[in-house]
Structure 1
Amino acid sequence: MSDFSPGQRWISDGEAELGLGTVLNCDARSVTILFGASQETRTYNTRQAPLTRVQFGSGDRVLAAEGWQMVVDDSKESRGLIVYIGEDEHGALRELPETKLADTMQFDQARDRLLTGQVDRNDWFDLRFRTLHHYQRIEQHGALGFSGPRIDLIPHQLYIADEVAHRHAPRVLLADEVGLGKTIEAGLILHRLLLTGRIERALILVPDSLTHQWLVELLRRFSLSVTLLDEHQSQAHGSANPFESGQLILASQGWLFANPQRQAQALASRFDLLIVDEAHHLDWSEAASGPGYQCVEQLAADIAGLLLLTATPEQMGVASHFARLRLLDPERYHDLARFKAEEQHYTEVAAAIDALEALPGNAAAAERLEAVIDDRDSRALLATLNHAESSSEQQATARDQLRDALLDRHGTGRVMFRNSRRHVGGFPARHLHLAPLAPPSAYRRVMRRLERDDDYLDELLIETGMDHPDVLIYPDAMYRELGDDPLNAEPWWQIDPRVNWLLERLSDVENGFANEKVLVIAHHRATAEGIAEGLRVLGGYHAPVFHEGLSLIERDRAAAAFADEEDGCQVLVCSEIGSEGRNFQFCRHLVMFDLPQHPDQLEQRIGRLDRIGQRHAIEIHVPTFEASPGERLLRWYNEGMDAFSAPHGIGSDLFDAFGDALADALLDDEMLDDIIEETRTLLTARQAERDAGRNRLLELNACRPVKAERVIEAIRSLDDDSALPRYVERALDIFGVDSQELGGDLFHLQPSPQMLDGLPGLVKGEEGFTATYRRDLALARDDVQRLSWEHPLLREMMGRILDGTMGNTALALLRHPAIPSGRVMAELIFRTHCPAPKALHLNRFLPPTAVRVLLDESGANLTDKISFTGLSKNLQKVNKSLARDLIKSRHEALRGLLVQGESEAERELPSIVEAAETRMRQQLDAELARLSALAEHNPAVRQSELSALVAERQTLSDAIENTRLRLDAVRVIITVDAEG
């Protein structure tokens, strides 16, 4: 007969969150249970039902459905149902049938499972305790969120990520130069905020060409799975909001900006963070704004956190830069004229910061500082720095504090982070290789007529439909547009010597780049397609083409075919779109088949190869036609602004100043010489201004080395954590994962037939994956995963243990000659429980904390005398049927030990709460004081940020104060004869 009867109360072992269930009906094969609190109904096989009968004993407190409470004194059974007898809160004697128990009643799973004879293996209990211990340690660690990603430990990236991720609802512009890792910085911030619970959902908007690159980067580097949303996927959701389909939504800007309906759905979906890549494309002016800017502006007004990414924040001028800042904080940045006036003040602030190094003993330096200091604390620091009796240590501390104060209070450094290559250092050299070629007759014929006939340029513009100066610097495009001319009967690539030059270089082993990857970039799509066709027809080379006409999948296939080291193609040909956002740092040869008009586009092209992590010098190859407009443009880039040796971020200013004149000089060498000289002069002046003003402040603020090194040291401490391999070995064994050593610090993980389902990266019947604990090894090999405390496999195993019942009960035998046989001990593990919103990240101050209590049957507390590890080593397992009998025979004794253990654990709670409150106050009070003082001088500190911090501190204090202990796990230990 079945053990189930309608009305009985049971709990689900695997879904404790369902609450207290009631048997609706049952037969010999199945039982149906209603979980009233969660309004869920489940049907189970009676033979294998993962359920536990709820039975309360003397001293237990129970809650009636009507809301009154009772302390159980006794119970009786009637027709398969339990009736509890005891006193209510008013002392009245009452009876309560189990059918009338409250569905929402909280009960202790470990206690109930133990008293109903459900026990797990001892090694499961051990793993549960160790998991709780490690989880408590890692959740408070300063490197949480930064130690797991597959990244190099680069100071400026980690400094920015740490600085931004600590803020409430961060809103910043990540504007590092090309190749310095803005995507990594954004990924680190996102990863940290997710792991700490500060955010739950994020919307990521990127250019169409970069969607799959972001998808792969977030998965490969950060183990973050995102939902890639487009129109096809959106339509698949029917009338439902497609933006609700995932935690992390990745979408192309082109698709969303052109679709008002989808924009409305994105606004209706609740996101905590918005990330916008290549934000310089958002069009804004004081008179009007483009659809992309309007869309982001609406989203940014509704979403608390905002990260804008751009390598060229001033590509469109100061007004464009102001427009990005306006998205971050429209209250602070509302007046363009005022913003321009503020920038004039930054030069003297930068000079004052540099003057710190001349103190003490330099009167002029002291005057510079006094001119920009306007608060008592900073004056006190300056006095300490200048005082004759101050020690060198005191002076160094005062200098650092004064530098930080000036950086915090002036400029846009709080909302904008911009590192330059010269500031970061460590980048490879760039080598320019010029290849002057004789133009073909078809090109030369047009050039000669242009030189003779002043009116022919206007005719050519009309005839081709091209713009000036495109018609001059892209002769192949001009040739294609003049296709009706009988002299232009052949495809352009058959007559253009640059194609043959490229073929010769590809096959030149001694002087060329034979057998090496070569990236070719041309301005127009048709040019890129023609190059690929020419390489195929004339040389037999298969060269994938990457251009704006391809679908995202086709672009990714082209990039993947190029990236494959063993079977990949030697050459990839890109249109201009290939120079924005893509990372080809595995390649060192760049062929600029032609040149772009704008210096920023030129730098973006080089930046595809010249990135952090590039191990080789960048070889830049530029074929040009002698005495042509293209060669004159090259001279302006090379001689006028030194564009090929290193980025300097001033190209946009130079193009604004000389772009029109340069276009006119492309047919006039004498005029060009004057423009080159003027460009060089302005370049020198702009570099001096940059070094003295706002950019100098930004560079100083974008990476503070001392703080960055602290973050790196914290990450390394987790990298070198010797406890991790030991824990992983235990956990893999229990979860049924086979681990095979491969040598060289590598091991292979593979599911065993007994593996528990649902582990990330491990599927029964499949091969598994190769892993290592070493960061350098994982970075060197894409096929190797790095196991860390943050790896999805570790987090899944730890989460499954802590959130479920696995190992929360156990029974073991202890053989010891000094302890009489038949004695009972109870090892109780209590865990702090503190209900609080995830966004508070309470765990940084009070993560779930274990309190261990070891009692013998006499009630003696042995916790301090016998350690957990020492006891575990001497325990022996017992089969489950015997364990149930032993527990049943000691019910009353165990109930007494459970009650006493709770009292013993409660004595530890005040000190835990006080320590957590102290940690919280120390951190948040200091941060609040710093921001309050900073707000008086720097309007970039939002009042909402201060208010949120005050509210957060109070909410945290209330939550910590309400911390309670609950029984997490219990192990019964019975002593037996040493011989038997």
Structure 2
Amino acid sequence: MSDFSPGQRWISDGEAELGLGTILSCDARSVTVLFGASQETRTYSSRQAPLTRVAFGSGDRIQSADGWQMRVDDSKEVGGLIVYIGEDDQGELTELPEAKLADTMQFDQARDRLLTGQVDRNDWFDLRFRTLHHFHRIEQNPALGLAGPRIDLIPHQLYIADEVSRRHAPRVLLADEVGLGKTIEAGLILHRLLLTGRAERALILVPASLCHQWLVELLRRFALEVTLLDEQQSQAHGAANPFEAGQLILASQDWLFANPHRQAQALACAWDLLIVDEAHHLDWSEEQAGPGYACVGRLAAEIDGVLLLTATPEQMGLTSHFARLRLLDPDRYHSLERFREEEQGYVQVAEAIDALERLPGSSTGGDDADRERVAAVIDEPDSLALLDTLANPEAGDSQHAAARSQLREALLDRHGTGRVMFRNSRRHVGGFPERRLHLAPLALPSPYRRVLRKLERDEDYLDELLIETGLDHPDVLIYPDAMYQALTDDPLNEEPWWQFDPRVSWLLERLADDGEQGFANDKVLVIAHGRDTAQGLAEALRVLGGFHAPVFHEGLSLVERDRAAAAFADDEDGCRALICSEIGSEGRNFQFCRHLVMFDLPQHPDQLEQRIGRLDRIGQRHAIEIHVPVLEGSPGERLLRWYREGMEAFSAPHGEGNALFDAFGDALAEALLDDESLDELIAETRALFDSRLAERDAGRNRLLELNACRPGRAEAVADAIRELDEDRALPRYLDQALDIFGVDGQELGGGLLHLQPSPQMLDGLPGLVKGEDGFTATLSRSRALARDDVQRLSWEHPLLREMMGRILDGTMGNTALALLKHPAIPAGRIMTELVFRTHCPAPRRLHVNRFLPPTAVRVLLDESGAVLTDKISFTGLSKNLQKVKKAMARDLIRSRHDRLRELLTQGELEADRELPSIVEAAQVRMRESLDGELARLTALARLNPAVREEELEALRHERAELDAAIDGTRLRLDAVRVIVTVGEEAR
């Protein structure tokens, strides 16, 4: 007969998740067990049943089926069943038969699993300890959240992402010039906030034309999966709120701004972060707000964190710029008139910072006037003391340098809108390619010339032409092909415009030319103002030259636009040319291309810069070749002169286009048919252009550029990222984890690794589904940047985060038993290797791990209770251990139950001695970080109203919460390994 008796409690060795089982019946051949918690019944062979008897000992806490708990003091056996004796919740002495134990009792803690005979593989235990070690190290790295994304380490992007993501509920305007990476900055901020737990839900609103680009960019660069929401998807959710469909929601501004019902649903959700791209399109005036601005305003009032993105914060005018800042902080930016006054004071501050660099101790020297310039903008005692240090001839060079640096930082902190707005310009960042303008003068064809001559002779004909074509002024003059197509009743306009337009034949010649002047070996982006022109041009290339060029215009669906862009980007099988209407000049990145053909010119300078900005972006490695075929004697040629001579629009971005167009746009429209008026207009434009550049360089933009990237901070972040990139532990850990989780890795050469599921793979790993091919990855940042189809593995990649989380949050490897063969140790002795882990319960938003990540305390005891922790290292011990079969392991544990309980209790006492020093060190780290920041911001708030009181209060509250959480830290047993010594002959 077996040892089984009805009513006894056992657990399944292979299905521990079934919970606590009860023997229903047994005989010489079989035993039947009911697992009440999971409502499952199993029948096993009595001789080989994979079951382990559950028996608790003194000190264990157990739960009755009625819900009350007991601390076991003793036990007795009655009729083959255990009766536990101990104190209940009220301290009363009582008894609890094992048959009345709660079915739902879980054995997931290391102590419970070990004592019930549940042991994992020895290599699982090793992986668990190493995971805890690496997680502790990585969580404290200052680059956490910024090291994983597939990006170049560009200083200004890293500085902005680091600065903004450290703030409580950041509310900022990201306003870098076109091509400097605002989307990357927003993605980095979002990625870090999500990884550190400071944000869980985000709403991302972008123009419809950019939805798929954002979707792909967030997935490809940041491994963030977002839910793209539109009306069709929303209706699929029926009465449910569609904005609850995911943690990260991406939606079209065009759709949401036009739909009050969906706006109400978005407002009803809890969000941590709102991101709004192309925010300059939100219309606002002192009299009224547009629907988009009103929608974002309501959302921004409810959501703590807000990121607004725009490349043109001021080109749309000072009022428009004030409107963006008002969304971020309506209390601070409540008066447009006061904002105008503040703007005037920034010139003095910028001059003071320049003067500071010339004071004694600098390479350029300085004089009393420079000292007075600095003194005029400071009145705080600490700043005046720093200024005195600079004036002290006895101070050394190092003291001068330190004082200058601190004073410079103070001036930047305390003046201007630098805390709420980050704006980097190309001239400040540097490293951008040269722009080369190539003009192709072409004879004006007779169908166009005929209309223009009539316009020059008859002043009233322009009004007739506008009525006849339905076009606006000056579009009817600038775009002669559109004018020609609109004159449908003219019998002379029977052939398509592209049959005679010399710009078409010029483009065909360049596409076929493989010489220095041709495009035969390169990609070419062609931009025309209108959709009809773009479509006609594509047809002309096909009919006249046999060239296939996809068209990218506003009439296409998002999927069709993405296909056209993808066909152009494909190096091997893609098309050589892409033809875009004006929509192709906003939001899309074509920096793999260096040839830009402006088939015509836009009438607004900002649109001209946006066209060039599709190619001229940070990371572009070639000079930008700008080709403009210009019809001689046409209004288009006069517009070209205004751009070149009036503002140098083709040489570099300057950000003054909107102001110049506001000042001279009407005069420009009138001068397109009059060379004399045009000469006067160009002179006036150039004078204002030069004046505004000088004003900009002296004032707030100078302050913003100085504040938008602090090189020392940026380099420190980059160094921390490189430290993680070059971490030699990562490939070793990855190999071990992939092997244990059942993922096959095949080396492809060139630093590439193809990962695919094995038949034994544990389910639920990101990017790996059984039966599918898996993916190709690399540890190299440069290789990942060069190959869009290759994922970059890092400590922050979802696959590694999932594996580490699965280990640390679950039971995997928290028990093990191994054999140790050593001639100096008698056989049959046991050692216990206990790994304790700090437990600091705190809300995720506090990110307590930056100060106190899960910390391991290892305790190694021999059978006599002697502490061997410092004498035998974890690695040294692991190398000499041998695995043991599970059946033998359970027998060994059962035979040493009582002694193991004693060693576990002793280990807890040993580990607890380490806790005070761990907690104290974490408190010191927290206070050094937060107290310094709180003191800085409190002082700053007295001088700079951009520091919000709620930000200070939130920081004080966060400090208090962290202090209490860290103080409440406790140790708990995370994993235990029993080591049994064996003789030389043992296997």
Q: TM-score normalised to the size of structure 1?
A: 0.95
2:943 is aligned with 1:942: no
Provide the residue aligned with 1:238 in structure 2: 238
The change in CA–CA distance for 1:925 and 1:12 in structure 2 (over 3 A counts) is farther
User: What CA distance in whole angstroms lies between the structure 2 residues aligned with 1:79 and 1:578?
Assistant: 84
1:80 is displaced (CA, Å) by 9.1
State the match for 1:388 in structure 2. 393
2:866 matches 1:866 = no
Q: Which deviates more from structure 2 when the two are superposed, residues 925-934 or residues 736-745?
A: 736-745
Deviates more, 1:23-32 or 1:302-311: 23-32
Corresponding residue number in structure 1 for 2:358: 358
Judged with a 3 Å threshold, the aligned counterparts in structure 2 of structure 1 residues 851 and 676 are, in CA distance, closer, same or farther, namely same
Amino acid corresponding to residue 253 of structure 1 in structure 2: Q
Q: Match for 1:877 among 880, 883, 891? A: 883
Deviation string, structure 1 residues 48-78 (Cα, Å, up to 9, x no partner):
9999886532111345688865320233577
Residue matched to 1:184: 184
Distance in structure 2 (CA, Å) of the matches to 1:95 and 1:648:
84
Which residue number in structure 2 is paired with residue 323 of structure 1? 323
Q: Deviations over 1:717-766 (max 9, x none)?
A: 11111111111111112112222333333333233222222222223333
Structure 1 CA distance for aligned equivalents of residues 53 and 618 of structure 2: 60
Aligned-pair CA distance for 1:413: 0.6
| Maintained 8 Å contact 1:108/1:966 | no
Question: Which secondary structure does the structure 1 equivalent of 2:944 belong to?
Answer: coil
Number of equivalent positions = 973
- Which whole-Å CA distance do the structure 2 matches of 1:914 and 1:935 have between them? 31
Q: Is the CA contact 1:140–1:845 (under 8 Å) kept in the aligned structure 2? A: yes
Matched AA of 1:265: Q
**Which TM-score applies when normalising by structure 2?**
0.95
1:911 equivalent to 2:917? Answer yes
Deviation at 1:261, TM superposition (A): 1.1
Could you say which residue in structure 1 is the equivalent of 2:363? none
Q: 2:463 aligns with which of 451, 458, 472?
A: 458
1:87 deviation in Å?
Answer: 2.5
Residue 753 of structure 1 aligns to a residue whose secondary structure is coil
Shift in CA distance, 660/869, structure 1 to aligned 2, threshold 3 Å: same
Greater CA drift, 108-117 or 653-662: 108-117
- Does residue 370 (structure 1) correspond to residue 375 (structure 2)? The answer is yes
Is the 1:349–1:406 Cα contact (8 Å) retained in structure 2? yes
User: Please, which of 395, 402, 410 is the counterpart of residue 405 of structure 1?
Assistant: 410
Counterpart residue number, 1:785: 791
Confirm or deny that 1:670 pairs with 2:676.
yes
C-alpha RMSD of the superposition: 2.5
Tell me the residue number matched to 1:558: 564
Structure 2 letter corresponding to 1:192? R
The verdict on how the C-alpha distance between 1:448 and 1:614 changes in structure 2, with shifts beyond 3 A counting, is same
Instruction: Tell me the amino acid that sits aligned with residue 233 of structure 2.
Output: Q
Instruction: Report what 1:490 is aligned to.
Output: 495
**Equivalence for 1:310:** 310
User: Which residue of the partner structure matches residue 975 of structure 1?
Assistant: 981
Q: Deviations over 1:620-672 (max 9, x none)?
A: 11111111111100100011100001001111111111111111100110111
Moved more, 531-540 or 868-877: 531-540
Task: From the superposition, tell whether residues 448 and 965 of structure 1 become closer, same or farther in structure 2 (CA, over 3 Å).
Answer: same
Q: 2:419 aligns with which of 414, 432, 441?
A: 414
- Structure 2 Cα separation of the partners of residues 272 and 21 of structure 1: 41
- Structure 2 residue 831 is matched with structure 1 residue 825: yes
Letter of the 2:201 counterpart: R
Q: Is the 8 A contact 1:813 1:976 kept in 2?
A: yes
The 8 Å contact of residues 283 and 293 in structure 1, kept in 2 or not, is answered as yes
Matched, 1:447 2:434: no
> Is residue 507 from structure 1 mapped to residue 512 from structure 2 by the alignment?
yes
Q: 1:270 to 1:11 in 2, by over 3 A?
A: farther
Residue aligning to 2:484: 479
Please name the residue that 2:599 is paired with: 593
- What is the letter of the counterpart of residue 266 of structure 1? A
Q: 1:885 to 1:276 in 2, by over 3 A?
A: same
Unaligned runs of 5+ in 1: 36-40
Residue type at the aligned position of 1:555: R
SS in 2 for 1:619: strand
Distance change in 2, residues 1:771/1:374 (3 Å): same
Distance 1:380 1:768, change over 3 A: same
Q: 1:217 to 1:460 in 2, by over 3 A?
A: same
Deviation at 1:916, TM superposition (A): 0.7
Cα distance change on mapping 1:871 and 1:672 into 2, 3 Å: same
Number of the residue aligned with 1:227? 227
- Cα separation, 1, equivalents of 2:312 and 2:745: 48
Q: Does the CA contact (< 8 Å) of 1:73 and 1:86 recur in 2?
A: yes
The farther-off stretch of 741-750 and 200-209 is 741-750
| Per-residue CA distance 1:917-963 (angstroms, 9 max, x = gap) | 11111100001001100100000000000000000000111111111
Are 2:669 and 1:655 aligned? no
CA distance in 1, matches of 2:647, 2:957: 52
1:752 equivalent in structure 2:
758
Mapped pair 1:712 → 2:718: yes
Distance 1:533 1:378, change over 3 A: same
In 2: Cα distance, 1:33 partner to 1:632 partner: 87
Deviations 1:657-690, CA, capped at 9 Å, x for gaps: 1111111100110111111111111111111111
Deviation, 1:105, is 7.8
Task: Report the AA paired with residue 191 of structure 1.
Answer: H
What's the offset of the Cα at 1:771?
A: 2.4
- Distance in 2 (CA, whole Å) between partners of 1:396 and 1:62 is 66
CA contact (8 A) 1:745 1:772 kept: yes
CA 1:24/1:464 → structure 2, altered by over 3 Å: closer, same or farther?
farther
1:527-570 deviation per Cα after TM superposition (whole angstroms, max 9, x unaligned): 11111111111111111111111111001000001100000011
Q: Secondary structure at the match of 1:488?
A: coil
1:14 shift after superposition: 9.0
Distance 1:391 1:160 in 2: 33
Question: 1:79 Cα deviation (Å)?
Answer: 9.0
**Contact 2:179/2:618 (<8 A) preserved:** yes
Residue 486 of structure 1 aligns to a residue in which SS? coil
Q: Cα distance 1:852–1:534, how it changes in 2: closer, same or farther (>3 A)?
A: same
Which letter maps to 1:333? Y
**Distance change >3 Å, CA 898–CA 509, structure 1 → 2:** same
Which residue pairs with 1:38 in the alignment?
none
Residue 156, structure 1, aligned to residue 156, structure 2: yes
Identity of aligned residues (%): 77
3-state SS of 2:492 partner? helix
Q: Is the 8 A contact 2:179 2:614 kept in 1?
A: yes
Aligned CA distance change for structure 1 residues 154 and 15 (closer, same or farther; 3 Å): farther
Aligned match for 2:440, one of 425, 435, 438: 435
The whole-number CA distance in structure 1 between the counterparts of 2:376 and 2:103 is: 70
Please give the residue correspondences for 1:533-552 in structure 2 after superposition, counting only pairs within 5 Å: 533-552=539-558
Counterpart residue number, 2:117 = 117
**CA separation of 1:162 and 1:104: change in aligned 2, threshold 3 A:** farther
Corresponding residue for 1:687?
693
Distance 1:807 1:448, change over 3 A: same
- The residue type equivalent to 1:455 in the other structure is D
Q: Aligned in 2, Cα 1:876/1:670: closer, same or farther, shift over 3 Å? A: same
Asked if 2 retains the 8 angstrom alpha-carbon contact of 1:24 and 1:34, the reply is: no
Matched, 1:344 2:350: no
Which amino acid is the alignment partner of residue 483 of structure 1?
T
- Superposition pairs for residues 512-531 of structure 1, below 5 Å? 512-531=518-537
> Which stretch of the first structure deviates more once superposed, 446-455 or 382-391?
382-391
* 1:167 lines up with 2:167 in the alignment: yes
Task: Determine if contact 1:11/1:53 at 8 Å carries over to the other structure.
Answer: no
> What SS does the aligned partner of 1:454 have?
coil
Specify the SS of the correspondent of 1:299: helix
For residues 393-413 of structure 1, the C-alpha deviation after alignment (integer angstroms, 9 at most, x for no partner) is: 111111111111111111111
Report deviation, 1:515: 2.6
| In structure 1, distance between residues paired with 2:167 and 2:512 | 54
1:800-819 aligned at under 5 Å gives the runs 800-819=806-825
CA–CA distance in structure 1, aligned partners of residues 283 and 22 of structure 2: 63
Work out the CA distance in 1 between the residues paired with 2:155 and 2:767. Answer: 31
